[in-house]
Amino acid sequence: MAAATWLAGVSECKITPPVGAPLLGPIQRSKGIHDDLFARVLVLSDGTNAACIAGLDLIGMDFSTADEIRRGIRRRTGIYTHLLNCSHTHSAPFTIPWSVLGWNWFIKEGQTWRQEVINKVINACDHAAANLVKVDLRCGRTDVQIGVNRRLPTPSGIVMKPNPQGVVIPWTDFLYVDDIYGRPLCVLFSHPAHPLIVHASSNLVSADYVGAAVQEIRTHLGASVLPIFLQGCAANINADPLRGGFNRAEEAGKRLAAAVLAGRERSERIPITPLEVSHRTLLLPLQELPTLSECDIVLREAEEKLPRISSNKLSEEILWKLQDEIDLGQITQDGDDDVQPMESQPWWLYDTVMCLKDLRSKAATAQSRSVRFEIQSIRTSDTWSLTAMTHELFAELQLWYETVAPAHCNILLSYTNACESYIPPDSALLEGGYEAASFPCLNGASLRYHYRLAIKPGAERQIQDALRSLWPTAH
């Protein structure tokens, strides 16, 4: 039976962390707030089925935090489809299990703020669900590019530097939610690019280019409009320029907003049809655990690089103090030749040792392990779909999805409902590089994420098959 009308409710709340929370980009404690962080919520319903879509100015969430929020939303609203998407701004605290030292802050000193975020997001979803109004929906896509591929092939392998010939997603997808008088109530918009134009150029809290884009859309459409940014498959795409500072982040945000605004007049109306929902959960196998002797060899080599700072036992507090004293203008995380690499800093070296010790403890159990992977998807017949996945996914998957997507307008997201690992395609796992390296490489992301190992080749096919199975009648 066809739906009688579209219904929507919106809500927004501030989730800015306390000053002093360590930020992932500079790996220093924040010294202040450049712009606040927000959680923005849209509840969309056909009168029977409903979905809660949230955009959060966070680098991500672990499964424990995301699951607690989702349970709260179910209890308060009865809604079972939740897309909690994080923008992945690097000018925010360690809310993903990346590193040991940064993660320890979140689960210890940062517990009060963590619970505040959980409660505020649940309340925002409840408020949106309790205040539904009749709306019209329009979707579309506009060309824009604010990012660059960050996996550069070199004779010595893949390095993290701009690759102008690499894969990018040169468009923004959007959904306009208008009231019955044709006035915009909410704008969902997505574009895959790491928000790290600020990154290690500042130790101030910021939503990066995402916050600037939201403000620009409101400037043109009115302060009452709720723009919600949703991050796409951006694992191998950086917003450009890396460490460019606040002015460059504002420029990029305004370009993105201009593309979203320009597409409004050309957008396609979404007919009133039942809102279809689909969920999938996979277990993606990790690569084999190293032996204890292999762990010991690499651990010993890492410990030999530790600076002899003091004969006193180092504490996490002392390590953060040392890190806070570092001149951000003299470090890099992308391999520039004219500045000191982050990998030589005391914090990074000690954190590497702690990550290796944790890997050794996992190897001692000798148990096979896997990564939980979730897909949540909503669809309105053949006109529009929104599909969201956990973790950090490469842009190649988003381009592939264009060939099999079920509707005329399709949005594909990662960083949704948890971010605990990179999920590279098989080709990247063969190439290596930061996003796809595994033990014994110490500069790979897999060592930082708490699984400590990369996924096995073949996961790409599992994900593709699961995405195809969401809408079997569409093929």
- Angle formed at CA 222 by CA 218 and CA 227, multiple of 5 degrees: 40
DSSP 18: P
Q: What is the mean pLDDT of residues 124-142?
A: 98
Residue 89, pLDDT > 70, answer yes
Task: Identify the band that residue 325 occupies on the pLDDT scale cut at 50, 70 and 90.
Answer: confident
- Exposure pattern of 203-235 as b/e (b: 16+ CB <10 Å)? bbbbbbbbbbbbbbbbeebeeebbbbbbbbbbb
- pLDDT score for 381: 84
Tens-digit pLDDT profile for residues 22-52: 999 999 999 999 999 999 999 999 999 999 9
> What's the average model confidence in pLDDT over 177-206?
96
Name residue 255's amino acid: R
What is the average pLDDT score of the chain? 93
Query: How crowded is residue 472: how many other Cβ atoms within 10 Å of its Cβ?
Result: 9
The predicted pLDDT at position 338 comes to: 46
Better-scored residue on pLDDT, 258 or 342: 258
Task: Give the CA dihedral 118, 232, 44, 212, nearest 10 degrees.
Answer: 70
DSSP string over 173-223: EEEEEEETTS-EEEEEEE---B--SSGGG--EE--THHHHHHHHHHHHH-T
pLDDT surpassing 80 at residue 292: yes
Per-residue pLDDT for 336 more than 60?
no
d(CA 321, CA 58): 24
Q: Does residue 324 carry a pLDDT above 70?
A: yes
Q: Give the mean model confidence (pLDDT) for residues 369-390.
A: 96
Residue 367 has pLDDT above 90, yes or no: no
Q: Which of 231-240, 249-258, 302-311, 337-346 has the lowest mean pLDDT?
A: 337-346
Give the per-residue pLDDT at 2.
53
Q: What is the pLDDT of residue 339?
A: 47
The Cα angle at residue 270 between residues 265 and 275, in degrees rounded to 5: 150
Q: 305 falls in which pLDDT band (50, 70, 90)?
A: confident
Q: What percent of the chain has pLDDT over 70?
A: 95
Q: How far apart are CA 120 and CA 130, in angstroms?
A: 15
pLDDT tens-digit readout, 395-436: 999 999 999 998 999 999 999 999 999 999 999 999 999 999
* 470 or 318, greater pLDDT: 470
pTM for the predicted model, two decimal places: 0.95
